[in-house]
Chain A
Amino acid sequence: MTKGPTPLLLAADADSIATARDHVTGVLEDAGCDSDLIADVVLATSEIVTNAVQASGVDEEIEVAVAVADDAVTLDVANATSRPLPPSSTWRGGDPLRPQGRGLGIVEHLARRLSLDHSDGRVTVTAVFDAD
């Protein structure tokens, strides 16, 4: 796998969501990815970083890393949290008009693979996208 650029460190506030989108857009454009793929990864970035912002304390940082290989784009978002993410059974389905709870379902729809790793008080969400 091609190594991506240095991970981006962001404050856990709502303005960081746009910063994360801009960062991912820049990396994927530089790598020559097509616009549909970029739109998908950017939407997923926004959803995952939004969850991270909402789960993090004000003094905590969120780490966003994106790596491009020949056949895949891998997005990792890590943050310190004591609050578990909702179980995967709730990510999709349900009433389309429900007030909230769509974010991870959108990512799951867009990504080839979506995984969550909880360890040492940190959660890392990894989403892998088909690049070919």
Chain B
Amino acid sequence: MLTGEEHRDVTRGTHPAAGDAAGHRRPPGGPGVYSSNIMNDNSRLKVDVAIDERIVTIHGDMDLRTAPEVDRAIEGLGGDGDVVLDMTGVTFMDSSGLRTVVARRQVLEDAGHRLVISDPSDPVRRVLEITGLESHLDISES
């Protein structure tokens, strides 16, 4: 179903409009942070990336349509260290979402680093349990 109304917005903190020199509180998307969204009539996903902290925070549904957004976010951080995937706000995930997590974990592991899944939501936990992946992934609870 092509609605033609998809809103895909990438806000980068390096944009001159982000933050100001007087030290006021930065608006969302300040330096070191960027967000990308898929919001249309059907699919809903928001990804926040804290570049220095190497934390990717996912809000919404991870499926075939939206998982590539998460894939790009993790890939964009490069392979120089661990990456934390904050999955508290994941409202749905299926095997397409899982495929991205497993593939990115493998790339990082091959480079000697970890992909840490932080605080998985119930829908994420359920899929990890069903597929037997729970004991094969790095999961942290805060």
Contact = CB atoms under 8 A, between A and B. Distances in A.
B103 A18 contact: no
B106 A15 contact: no
A100 B99 contact: yes
Interface string A90-112: 00000011111011011001100
A17 B64 contact: yes
Contacts of B64: 14, 17, 50, 53-54
Given A11-B2, A18-B61, A43-B94, A96 B42 contact: no
A39 B133 contact: no
A96 B136 contact: yes
Interface stretch (B17-25, B80-88, B124-132): B124-132
A21 B91 CA distance: 12
SS class of chain A's interface: helix, strand, loop or mixed?
helix
A67 B94 CA distance: 22
Nearest to B44: A18
A81 B123 CA distance: 30
Given A50-B94, A99-B103, A22 B42 contact: yes
B63 A17 contact: yes
B139 interface: no
A20 to B, nearest CB: 9
Contact of A110 (B3, B40, B123, B130): B130
Interface of B: 1-3, 40-44, 61, 63-65, 92, 94-96, 98-99, 102-103, 106, 123, 126-127, 130-133, 136
9 contacts: A15-B3, A18-B44, A18-B65, A50-B64, A50-B94, A96-B131, A97-B106, A99-B102, A99-B106
